[in-house]
C-alpha cells in the first residue's frame, strides 16, 4: 500500500511538473482541430475544434466541414486528421496573440471527402502578409517527399509545415486561398510562442571567410524544412515538450547510411549553455552518428546527407553535437562541408562544447545558387589538423529556409508524378456518384411531366412533329428486341413503377463471368463497372455498387426510376437493374468506344478528325439541351466532362452519369442552392462562389469540354507552368490574345477550316463567361456548333482534292442547306432549334 501510495505521489509530482513545463509554451498557444466543433486529445495535447464556441479563433468564412471514415496515416493522428476544413473560397483564421515570435504549424492530410479529390486541389497560404505556400498540392508533395527518401524507413502519409516568424501586431491571420477553380483544405493548426533566444541574430556564413550574416528576423520568416535526429529514432512531439517539435530519422537522407555508425549514451548530458534549453530536447543528443570502420585511424571518406531544397533561397543549417565517447580533447577532429564548401574545419567537439556529454550546436548561413535544389551536408576527416583521431560526429540536423522579399513559397512542379492519371481513373465509365437524394423529387417531376405531355405523345403516334417538350420513352421500345426476356412491372401505371428490366443476380453473374476483374472497364465512387454480355449476346456496361457505397437502397430505386425514363439518342440508356441479395446493380447500354477523353489524349487510340470532334460536341450538346429543356424545370447534369461523354460503335456521343444531376429551379426561383459538386477543372466559378446551381453551370463545364476537344490536353495539368495548369484559364488567355491557334491539338494542323475554329472558339469563350447570365443556352450553343460543322464540311469538300492547305482560305458560301441563310452574326442570336432538330434524335414515347 505504501509503495503504491508513493507511486501515486510520484506520478502526481510528474504530472504537475509536466503541466508547469508545458505551461510556458502552452500559454498563448493555439492547437486547432480544423473542420470540427469538438476537441480531441492527440500526442497528449488537447486540440480545440475550430468551430467550437468560445475558442477565441475567428474564421472569415465557414468553408466546408469535411470528415472521412477512412484514414491511412499514423493512427495516433487519426482523431485530428479524419476531419478538415475545406475551402473553395478564400478563408482566413485570426488568432489574438501578444506580439512576439511564433511557431506556426499547418497539418495536411489528403482525406477523401465526397467529390473533393485532393489530387486536383491547389491552394496558397500566407500569414500576416508572409507568403508561406503557393500552388500547393498535398498528395503531390507527399509523393515527392517519399520519392526523395533515399532508402529510408519512413514514408509520409501526411505533411506538417512549420514556420517561425515575428508577429508585430496583436493578431496572427493565416490566410488560405484556393487556386482558381479548385479547393484547399487544412486539418490542424498550431500556434506556439518561441523563446527569442532560440536563434541568434548573427550567424556564420559558409564560405564567407569568417564573416557573419544577419538573420534579420524583423523582416524575415523561417520555414523548417528538415529536422533530423541523427543516429537515433524518431522523436515525437510529446517527447519534445518545449515546442512539440517532430524529429525525423536521418538515415533516409544519407547518401550511404553505412558510412555512419549509430552510437548512443543516456548518461547525464547537460546543455553547454544554460540559454540552450529550448534549442533541442536532450534526447537528440543521446544518440549520434560517427564514422564507421573505426578500426582504421585514418578515415578517408565523408558522412554525407543530401536534402532536397527549393532553389533561390538562403538556408540556415543548424548542427547539433554532443561528444559521447572521449573525455579529453584532440581525440576527434573533423571538417564540416555545406554544399561542397568548407563551413568549419578543425572541429574538436570536446574543446568547443567544453567537455564530454555537453549538448552544443552551431549555426551556418548558406546562400544556395538559383540552380541547385539539393543541400549537401558532409562531415569528414580534417587531415590538416594534427589530431590523434579523425573521426566525425553529428547528433542532430536542422535546415531552415529564410524568406525573401516576404516570400517563403516555391511553386512545385510535381513533375514526375502520376497525378495526371488520377483524374482519368476517377470515373471512367458510367459511374454514378453519391449525393442524389434529390432524385426523388426529380422522379416526381418526371411523373408530372409525363402526365402533362400525354397529349403531344398522342400526336407522336400520328407521326406529327413533336414540340421541344419533354419526350420520355419508357423501356418498351428500346428493349423490345430483347423479346420475351423482358418483364415489366405494371407498365400501364403512369410514371410510378414503369422500370427497366429486372435482372436476376444469377443473370448478372453469368453476364460478367462472376464479376471477373479482367472485365472491369471503370471504377467510380459508386463501385465497379464491368463489361458484360447478356444472354441474348448484347453487350452491356454493368455497374455494381460496392457494399460501402453511401448510396442507399431508396436512392438506388429512385435512380432507376428516373434513368429508365430519360430516353434520348444522346443520353446513355439504362437497360435494367438487379436488386437481389442486397445487391444494387445497374445495367446500361455498352458504349464500344469508351470515353471522349480517351480519344483526345492519354491513350494510343487514333485521334479524331476535326469533323468528328464537332459531331461529338454537337451530340453531347444535344443530350444536354434535352436535359435542360425537356421538362418544365429541366435537369442540370452537374458533372459535364469528357469522361462523362461516351461514344458508341459509330462514334455517336452520349451523355452519361446522372449521379449528380439535379432538377432545375422552379419558375419563381432562378437557381437551386446546393453544396458544390462536380469535377475540378470543369467547375463553374460562379457556382463555386455562390453555391447556386443553374443550367449555366453545365454550360460553363461544356465550354471547358469544347476547349479540351480543341486542345486535347487535361483540364488540370500540374506539370505545366503555372499559367497553363488550368486549361480554361490558359485557353481564355490565348483566345483574348488571338493566339489560340498556337495551343490547338497539333494533330489537327492544316486539317481544319480556320473560320470554323474561330467560330468554335467564340462559342467556347461565351460559355466561360464569368457570369452565368452572360453565357449562351445549350440551344444557342447547339445551333452555332451546327453552323461550325457546316463550315468545316464545306471546307473539306473544297479541299478534297487539294494537297496543300492555305491558312487564308476564303469562307465558302454554304450550300443548299436552309440553315445556311440563317447564319448568325453574333452569339446573342437565338437559333431556331426545332428547325435544326430534324434528326429525330429523340426517341418517341409509345
Ligand atoms: C457539433 O457538430 C455535430 C455534427 O455536425 C452536431 O451534431 C453537434 O450538435 C455539434 N455540437 C455543437 C456543440 O455545436
Ligand atoms: C479566450 O480568451 C479569454 C480572454 O482572454 C480567456 O479567458 C479564455 O480562456 C480563452 N478561451 C480559450 C478557449 O482559450
Ligand atoms: C480575411 O478574409 C477576408 C475574406 O475572406 C478578406 O476580406 C480579408 O482581407 C482577409 N484578411 C486578411 C488579413 O487577409
Ligand atoms: C524500420 O522501422 C521499424 C519500426 O519503426 C523498425 O523496427 C526497423 O528496425 C526499421 N528498419 C530500419 C532499417 O531502420
Ligand atoms: C558570428 O556569429 C556567431 C554566432 O553564430 C557569434 O558567436 C560571433 O561572435 C559572430 N561574429 C561576428 C564577427 O559577428
Ligand atoms: C556512457 O557514459 C558514461 C559516463 O560518461 C560512461 O561511464 C559509459 O562508459 C558510457 N557508456 C558507453 C556505452 O559509452
Ligand atoms: C544567455 O542569454 C542572455 C540574454 O539573452 C545573455 O545576456 C547571456 O549572455 C547568455 N548567456 C550565454 C552563456 O550565452
Ligand atoms: C578518461 O577516460 C579514461 C577511460 O576511458 C580514464 O582512464 C581517464 O581517467 C579519464 N580522464 C578524465 C580526465 O576523466
Ligand atoms: C557536391 O558534390 C557532389 C559530388 O561531388 C555533387 O554531386 C553535388 O552536386 C555537389 N553539390 C553542390 C551543391 O555543388
Ligand atoms: C568530403 O566532401 C568534400 C566536399 O564535397 C570534398 O571536398 C572532400 O574531398 C571529401 N572528402 C573525402 C575524404 O572524400
Ligand atoms: C490520387 O493520386 C494517387 C497517385 O497517383 C492515386 O494513387 C490515387 O488513387 C488518386 N486518388 C484519387 C481519389 O483519384
Dihedral, CA of residue 775, residue 779, residue 783 and residue 785, to nearest 10: 60
Give the residue numbers marked as catalytic.
639
Picking from 559, 589, 619, the residue at the C-terminal end of a domain is: 589
Let me know whether 107 and 51 are in one domain: yes
Cα separation, 543 vs 551, in Å, equals 13
319 pLDDT above the threshold of 90: yes
Q: What angle do CA 6, 10, 13 make, to 5 degrees?
A: 140
CATH classification of the domain holding 555: 3.30.200.20
Check residue 222 and give its pLDDT.
Answer: 96
Please tell me the distance between residue 160's alpha carbon and the centre of ligand 1 in angstroms. Answer: 27
Please tell me the distance between residue 244's alpha carbon and the centre of ligand 5 in angstroms. Answer: 28
DSSP string, 762-802: HHHHHHT-SSGGGSPPHHHHHHHHHHHHHHHHHHHHHTSS-
Query: Which one has a higher pLDDT value, 252 or 423?
Result: 252
Let me know whether 442 and 511 are in one domain: no
Let me know whether 436 and 537 are in one domain: no
**26: pLDDT confidence band, cut at 50, 70 and 90?**
low
579 pLDDT above the threshold of 70: yes
841 pLDDT above the threshold of 60: no
**221: pLDDT confidence band, cut at 50, 70 and 90?**
very high
Picking from 176, 194, 212, the residue at the C-terminal end of a domain is: 194
Residue 212 lies in a domain: yes
Let me know whether 372 and 482 are in one domain: no
Let me know whether 434 and 564 are in one domain: no
Domains in the chain: how many in total? 5
Domain range for 30 is 23-194
How does pLDDT run across 107-125, given as a tens digit for each residue? 999 988 887 888 888 899 9
> For ligand 7, which residues put their CB under 6 angstroms from it?
197, 273, 275
Point out the ligand 7 atom lying closest to the alpha carbon of residue 274: 13
Cα separation, 532 vs 553, in Å, equals 23
Point out the ligand 3 atom lying closest to the alpha carbon of residue 173: 13
Judging by beta carbons within 10 Å of its beta carbon (0-12, 13-18, 19+), is residue 550 exposed, middle or buried?
Answer: middle
Residue 624 lies in a domain: yes
> For ligand 10, which residues put their CB under 6 angstroms from it?
300-302, 337, 340, 378, 380
Check residue 261 and give its pLDDT.
Answer: 87
Residue 14 lies in a domain: no
How does pLDDT run across 762-820, given as a tens digit for each residue? 999 999 999 999 999 999 999 899 999 999 999 999 887 654 444 433 333 333 333 33
Run of H or E including 67: strand 64-67
Please tell me the distance between residue 265's alpha carbon and the centre of ligand 6 in angstroms. Answer: 6
HEC sequence for 305-366:
EEEECCCCCEEEEEEEECCCCCCCCCCCCEEEEECCEEEEEEECHHHHHCCCCEEEEEEEEE
Run of H or E including 203: strand 202-205
Cα separation, 420 vs 717, in Å, equals 6
Please tell me the distance between residue 374's alpha carbon and the centre of ligand 11 in angstroms. Answer: 27
Judging by beta carbons within 10 Å of its beta carbon (0-12, 13-18, 19+), is residue 648 exposed, middle or buried?
Answer: middle
Closest residue by CA, ligand 2 atom 1: 56
Please tell me the distance between residue 381's alpha carbon and the centre of ligand 10 in angstroms. Answer: 9
How does pLDDT run across 551-564, given as a tens digit for each residue? 555 556 656 666 66
Residue 464 lies in a domain: no
Q: Is the CB of 373 under 6 A from ligand 9?
A: no
Residue 461 lies in a domain: no
Query: Which one has a higher pLDDT value, 241 or 712?
Result: 712
Residue 291 lies in a domain: yes
Mean pLDDT of the chain: 77
Query: Which one has a higher pLDDT value, 608 or 804?
Result: 608
Let me know whether 172 and 209 are in one domain: no
Residue 162 lies in a domain: yes
Lowest-pLDDT range of 506-510, 743-747, 822-826: 822-826
The dihedral built from the CA positions of residue 711, 714, 716 and 719, taken in this order, carries a sign that is negative
Ligand nearest the Cα atom of residue 29: 2
Let me know whether 535 and 491 are in one domain: yes
Strand, helix or coil at 269?
coil
Point out the ligand 3 atom lying closest to the alpha carbon of residue 126: 14
How does pLDDT run across 81-115, given as a tens digit for each residue? 999 999 988 999 999 999 999 999 999 999 888 87
Ligand nearest the Cα atom of residue 373: 9
Let me know whether 405 and 314 are in one domain: yes
**Binding-site residues for ATP, please?**
543
Let me know whether 410 and 431 are in one domain: no
613 pLDDT above the threshold of 90: yes
645 pLDDT above the threshold of 90: yes
The whole-number average pLDDT for the span 231-260 is 89
Mutate to test the pocket of ligand 3, among 95, 169, 175 (most ligand atoms within 8 A of CB): 175
843 pLDDT above the threshold of 70: no
Please tell me the distance between residue 382's alpha carbon and the centre of ligand 8 in angstroms. Answer: 24
Let me know whether 398 and 450 are in one domain: no
Query: Which one has a higher pLDDT value, 503 or 631?
Result: 503
Mutate to test the pocket of ligand 6, among 262, 263, 264, 265 (most ligand atoms within 8 A of CB): 265
Q: Is the CB of 210 under 6 A from ligand 2?
A: no
Q: Is the CB of 273 under 6 A from ligand 5?
A: no
**Which range, 191-205, 526-540, 671-685, has the best average confidence (pLDDT)?**
191-205
**pLDDT above 70 coverage of the chain, percent:** 73
Lowest-pLDDT range of 346-355, 441-450, 633-642: 441-450
**pLDDT above 90 coverage of the chain, percent:** 39
The whole-number average pLDDT for the span 533-537 is 86
495 pLDDT above the threshold of 70: no
Q: What is the CA radius of gyration of the chain?
A: 33
Let me know whether 303 and 257 are in one domain: yes
HEC sequence for 523-574:
ECCCEEEEEEECCCCCEEEEEEECCCCCCCHHHHHHHHHHHCCCCCCCECCE
127 pLDDT above the threshold of 80: yes
Ligand nearest the Cα atom of residue 680: 11
Cα separation, 423 vs 643, in Å, equals 9
Check residue 266 and give its pLDDT.
Answer: 80
Let me know whether 763 and 786 are in one domain: yes
Closest CA to 457 of 415, 499, 495: 495
565 pLDDT above the threshold of 50: yes
Closest residue by CA, ligand 7 atom 7: 275
Judging by beta carbons within 10 Å of its beta carbon (0-12, 13-18, 19+), is residue 277 exposed, middle or buried?
Answer: middle
Joined together, the cell numbers standing for residue 388 give: 590523434
Check residue 483 and give its pLDDT.
Answer: 28
**156: pLDDT confidence band, cut at 50, 70 and 90?**
confident
Amino acid at each position: 500500500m505504501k509503495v503504491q501510495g508513493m507511486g501515486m505521489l510520484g506520478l502526481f509530482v510528474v504530472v504537475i511538473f509536466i503541466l508547469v513545463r508545458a505551461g510556458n509554451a502552452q500559454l498563448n498557444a493555439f492547437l486547432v482541430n480544423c473542420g470540427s466543433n469538438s476537441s480531441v486529445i492527440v500526442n497528449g495535447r488537447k486540440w480545440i475544434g475550430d468551430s467550437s464556441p468560445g475558442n477565441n479563433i475567428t474564421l472569415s468564412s465557414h468553408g466546408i466541414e469535411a470528415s472521412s471514415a477512412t484514414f491511412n496515416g499514423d493512427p495516433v493522428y487519426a482523431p485530428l486528421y479524419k476531419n478538415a476544413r475545406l475551402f473553395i473560397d478564400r478563408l482566413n483564421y485570426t488568432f489574438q496573440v501578444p506580439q512576439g515570435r511564433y511557431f506556426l504549424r499547418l497539418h495536411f492530410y489528403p482525406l477523401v471527402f465526397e467529390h473533393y479529390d485532393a489530387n486536383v486541389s491547389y491552394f496558397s497560404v500566407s500569414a500576416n502578409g508572409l507568403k508561406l505556400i503557393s500552388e500547393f498540392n498535398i498528395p503531390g508533395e507527399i509523393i515527392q517527399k517519399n520519392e526523395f527518401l533515399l532508402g529510408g524507413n519512413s514514408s509520409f502519409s501526411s505533411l506538417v509545415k512549420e514556420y517561425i516568424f515575428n508577429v508585430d501586431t496583436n493578431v496572427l491571420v493565416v490566410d488560405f486561398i484556393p487556386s482558381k477553380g479548385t479547393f484547399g483544405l487544412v486539418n490542424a493548426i498550431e500556434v506556439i510562442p518561441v523563446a527569442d533566444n532560440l536563434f541568434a541574430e548573427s550567424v556564420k556564413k559558409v564560405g564567407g571567410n569568417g564573416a557573419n550574416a544577419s538573420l534579420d528576423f524583423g523582416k524575415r520568416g523561417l520555414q523548417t524544412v528538415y529536422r533530423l535526429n541523427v543516429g537515433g529514432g524518431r522523436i515525437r512531439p510529446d517527447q519534445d515538450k518545449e515546442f512539440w517539435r517532430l524529429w525525423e530519422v536521418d538515415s533516409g537522407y544519407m547518401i550511404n547510411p553505412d558510412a555512419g555508425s549509430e552510437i548512443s549514451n543516456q548518461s547525464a548530458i547537460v546543455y553547454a549553455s544554460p540559454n540552450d534549453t529550448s534549442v533541442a530536447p536532450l534526447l537528440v543528443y543521446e544518440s549520434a552518428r560517427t564514422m564507421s570502420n573505426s578500426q582504421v585511424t585514418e578515415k578517408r571518406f565523408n558522412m554525407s546527407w543530401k536534402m532536397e531544397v527549393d532553389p533561390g533561397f538562403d538556408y540556415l543549417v543548424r548542427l547539433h553535437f554532443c561528444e559521447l565517447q572521449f573525455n579529453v580533447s584532440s581525440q576527434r577532429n573533423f571538417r564540416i562541408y555545406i554544399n561542397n564548401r568548407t563551413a568549419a574545419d578543425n572541429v574538436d567537439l570536446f574543446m568547443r562544447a567544453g567537455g564530454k556529454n555537453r549538448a552544443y550546436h552551431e549555426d551556418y548561413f548558406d546562400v544556395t545558387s538559383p540552380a541547385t535544389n539539393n543541400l549537401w551536408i558532409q562531415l569528414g576527416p580534417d587531415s590538416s589538423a594534427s589530431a590523434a583521431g579523425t573521426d566525425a560526429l553529428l547528433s542532430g540536423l536542422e535546415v531552415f529556409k529564410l524568406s525573401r522579399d516576404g516570400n517563403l513559397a516555391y511553386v512545385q512542379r510535381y513533375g514526375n508524378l502520376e497525378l495526371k492519371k488520377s483524374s482519368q481513373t476517377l470515373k471512367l465509365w458510367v459511374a454514378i456518384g453519391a449525393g442524389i437524394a434529390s432524385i426523388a423529387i426529380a422522379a416526381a417531376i418526371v411523373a408530372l411531366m409525363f402526365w402533362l405531355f400525354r397529349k403531344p405523345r398522342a400526336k407522336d403516334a400520328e407521326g406529327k412533329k413533336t414540340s421541344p417538350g419533354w419526350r420520355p420513352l419508357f423501356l418498351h421500345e428500346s428493349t423490345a428486341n430483347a423479346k420475351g426476356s423482358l418483364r415489366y412491372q405494371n407498365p400501364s401505371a403512369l410514371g410510378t413503377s414503369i422500370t427497366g428490366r429486372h435482372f436476376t443476380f444469377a443473370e448478372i453473374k453469368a453476364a460478367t463471368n462472376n464479376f471477373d476483374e479482367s472485365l472491369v472497364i471503370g471504377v467510380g465512387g459508386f463501385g465497379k463497372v464491368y463489361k458484360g454480355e447478356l444472354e441474348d449476346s448484347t453487350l452491356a456496361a454493368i455497374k455494381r455498387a460496392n457494399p460501402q457505397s453511401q448510396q442507399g437502397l431508396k436512392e438506388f430505386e429512385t435512380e432507376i426510376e428516373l434513368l429508365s425514363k430519360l430516353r434520348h439518342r444522346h443520353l446513355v440508356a439504362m437497360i435494367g437493374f438487379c436488386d437481389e441479395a442486397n445487391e444494387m446493380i445497374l445495367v446500361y447500354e455498352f458504349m464500344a468506344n469508351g470515353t471522349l477523353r480517351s480519344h483526345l489524349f492519354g491513350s494510343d487510340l487514333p485521334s479524331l478528325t476535326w469533323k468528328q470532334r464537332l459531331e461529338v460536341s454537337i451530340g453531347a450538346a444535344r443530350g444536354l439541351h434535352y436535359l435542360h429543356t425537356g421538362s418544365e424545370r429541366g435537369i442540370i447534369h452537374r458533372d459535364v466532362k469528357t469522361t462523362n461523354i461516351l461514344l458508341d460503335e459509330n462514334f455517336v456521343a452520349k451523355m452519361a452519369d446522372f449521379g449528380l444531376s439535379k432538377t432545375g429551379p422552379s419558375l419563381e426561383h432562378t437557381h437551386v442552392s446546393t453544396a458544390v459538386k462536380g469535377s475540378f477543372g470543369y467547375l463553374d466559378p460562379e457556382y463555386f462562389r455562390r453555391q447556386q446551381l443553374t443550367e449555366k453551370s453545365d454550360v460553363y463545364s461544356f465550354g471547358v469540354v469544347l476547349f479540351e476537344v480543341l486542345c486535347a490536353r487535361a483540364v488540370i495539368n500540374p506539370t505545366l507552368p503555372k499559367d497553363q495548369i488550368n486549361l480554361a484559364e490558359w485557353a481564355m488567355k490565348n483566345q483574348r490574345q488571338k493566339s489560340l491557334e498556337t495551343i490547338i491539338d497539333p494533330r489537327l494542323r492544316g486539317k481544319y477550316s480556320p473560320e470554323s475554329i474561330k467560330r468554335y472558339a467564340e462559342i467556347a469563350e461565351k460559355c466561360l463567361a464569368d457570369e452565368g447570365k452572360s453565357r449562351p443556352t445549350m440551344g444557342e450553343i447547339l445551333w452555332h456548333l451546327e453552323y461550325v460543322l457546316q463550315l468545316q464540311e464545306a471546307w473539306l469538300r473544297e479541299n478534297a482534292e487539294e494537297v496543300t492547305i492555305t491558312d487564308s482560305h476564303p469562307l465558302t458560301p454554304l450550300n443548299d442547306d436552309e440553315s445556311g441563310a440563317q447564319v448568325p452574326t453574333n452569339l446573342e442570336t437565338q437559333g431556331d432549334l426545332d428547325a435544326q432538330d430534324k434528326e429525330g434524335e429523340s426517341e418517341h414515347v409509345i
